[in-house]
Chain A
Amino acid sequence: MINAIGREIPDAIDNYGAVKPFDGAFSTLPDMQRKAPAVKTIRPGQSKLINGLEEAFLRIPVKDGMTLSFHHHLRNGDAVVNEVLATAAKLGIKNLKVALSSVFPIHAPMVEHFKSGVVTGLDTNYMSGPVADAVSRGALAQPVILRSHGGRARAVECGQLKVDVAFIAAPAADKCGNLNGVSGPAACGSLGYAFPDAEYAEHVVAVTDHLEPYPLSPISIEQTRVDYVVKIDKIGDPKGIVSGTTRITKDPVQLKIADMAAKVIKAAGLIREGFSFQTGAGGASLAVAHYVRQMMKSADVTGSFVLGGITGHLVSMLEEGLFKKIIDVQGFDLDAVRSITSNPDHLEVSASFYANPYNLGCAVNQLDCVILGATEIDTDFNVNVVTGSNGVIMGGSGGHCDAAAGAGITIVVANLLRARLPIIMDRVLTATTPGETIDVLVTERGIAVNPRRAELRAQLEAAGLPVMDITELKAIAEKMAGVPKSIPLGDKVVAVVEYRDGTVLDVVRQVM
């Protein structure tokens, strides 16, 4: 079948379930009830503290075919996923489905578990490293389900992703299972992505390396939903969890792009009281925050909030009074951790509050503007952040399609050419975010505006910005680099790209 953005998707996909084709960013409405887990009780004096993950496995008990879930707040310093899966392998458990909100190079041992059959299913919002490579080459028989952050929250809450056991890595815990992410050697800041799992999983196991006396404070996840508390030596390596400080790029081309994006924001009239925005955590996206900060200072304007993954630059803007609040679903560096711990205007929110489309309003809906990246964009403004130019999975939506849908103006910043590769295609290899939610593309050689936003285009042109049709920009790139040949792909579907509402936006096919 052909879905609403013209992508060819199979009518049925083995080991996936019913395929509901993408029908428009806001077209598919919810028609389900939330399904709550079984009610449990615990007696006074009964302890949750158990010795080691194996005991947790035996008590639950974890069986073949179960779905185990994890959050990714420990990023590339995470030790919990590997230890849990090693425990499963040791106990001879098979056919597990891993629902890990983002997969990093540190999770490389999972590739062995694919081979040995311990793990046969993967559900995630972002993949990079050996696991992504293995999946791209067909290591799993079942297709991976790729969701957005908001979509995962929706799937957990609305029953499409049934979690048997949520293993929640907790930088700090008390003996009753109160958890937070701000204390302990592996402090990571907000625990936003763990909230839906804590609420809806059948069993919840907190895994910590830092127990504090009861009651823990502050409390991000409450004791009332936690079955067991396991203490291990180290839940993660701080160096891989948070960067010391996130530095802005020094690359002059990236800075040029960022400066132009800030000028777009200004020309759109957004540098005004109450402005709200979200940026990515690296490259040109983060540098935009730097230029916007200068513009806000010059215009003497105070914004309302910044949202999303939080870095020291955004914390500085809060502390300088340029913004009133930070809404934080994930911290990226030590400044973010420090600020969330001490500043009442720095709010921790769940993934559902952040981006779930199936609730009465998520935070992305309040954004005036979001700055996003892309590996590819096509002439319909559909964006790819899942596969690299050679077809290998190297990312995933994360919050990309969520923020794009919610924000008033969505700006993609990208080099027109990355080394030789043009970023503008006739058709993206994999669609992650539909073009109707993408408004502006800013490159170092020009700016393209989605034809749906004629008024915005006029504003940018009036401000003297180099606006051109996306097809013109594509032609400039191809004149410089030559027209790229398409890469050959196999037939096997290795991943299903779901839109935030659970419909199928695209599929990823095996690389040859």
Chain B
Amino acid sequence: MKTAQAGTLESSDILITVVPQEAGSGIRIEIDSIVSLQYGEAIQAVIADTLAEAGVADMLVKAMDRGALDCTIKARLMTALDRARANGGNV
């Protein structure tokens, strides 16, 4: 897996960067959101759940959020993971 990115900084979107970590490192999620006070926890949860569903155990996820809904966050994260897997995804 390689570092990869998906999404944009447009309103209602989220820019997600996934940085694969060494086995055993665990999940780290860093969120910078325009609605962090209201939805920070919710964003954290969607990202964590999506990683778990995808069977990803060791990953750094950096998210710059512009008010994306859960389904958008999930879609962007899954795209980033696909790109990471596809060797040399977008950075």
Complex: A in contact with B (CB within 8 Å)? yes
Interface residues on A, range: 10 to 19
By a CB distance below 8 angstroms, the chain B residues around A481 are 39, 69
Q: How far is the CB of B15 from chain A (nearest CB, A)?
A: 14
With A485-B37, A487-B37: A419-B42 Cβ-Cβ less than 8 Å: no
A419 to B66, CA, bound (A): 7
Using CB atoms and an 8 Å cutoff, list the residues of chain A in contact with chain B: 389-390, 418-421, 480-482, 484-485, 487-488
A121 to B38, CA, bound (A): 32
A488 to B42, CA, bound (A): 17
Which of A390, A418, A482 has a CB less than 8 Å from the CB of B37? A390
Contact, CB under 8 Å: A389 / B69: no
Using CB atoms and an 8 Å cutoff, list the residues of chain B in contact with chain A: 11-12, 34-35, 37-42, 66-70
Q: How far is the CB of A193 from chain B (nearest CB, A)?
A: 33
Contact, CB under 8 Å: A420 / B69: yes
A393 to B18, CA, bound (A): 36
| Complex: chain A residue closest to B36, CB-CB | A390
With A419-B12, A420-B12: A487-B69 Cβ-Cβ less than 8 Å: no
Which of B12, B38, B68 has a CB less than 8 Å from the CB of A485? B38
By a CB distance below 8 angstroms, the chain B residues around A421 are 35, 38, 67
Count: A-B pairs, CB below 8 Å? 38
Contact, CB under 8 Å: A480 / B38: no
Contact, CB under 8 Å: A485 / B39: yes
| Complex: chain A residue closest to B12, CB-CB | A419
6 further contact pairs, Cβ within 8 A, besides A419-B11, A419-B67, A484-B35: A389-B38, A419-B12, A420-B39, A420-B68, A420-B69, A481-B69
Contact, CB under 8 Å: B70 / A389: no
Q: Which 4 A-B pairs have the closest CB atoms?
A: A419-B67, A484-B38, A420-B67, A487-B37
By a CB distance below 8 angstroms, the chain B residues around A480 are 69
Contact, CB under 8 Å: B38 / A419: no
Q: How far is the CB of A509 from chain B (nearest CB, A)?
A: 14
Most interface-central of B39, B40, B70 (chain A CB within 10 A): B39
By a CB distance below 8 angstroms, the chain A residues around B66 are 419
Contact, CB under 8 Å: A482 / B42: yes
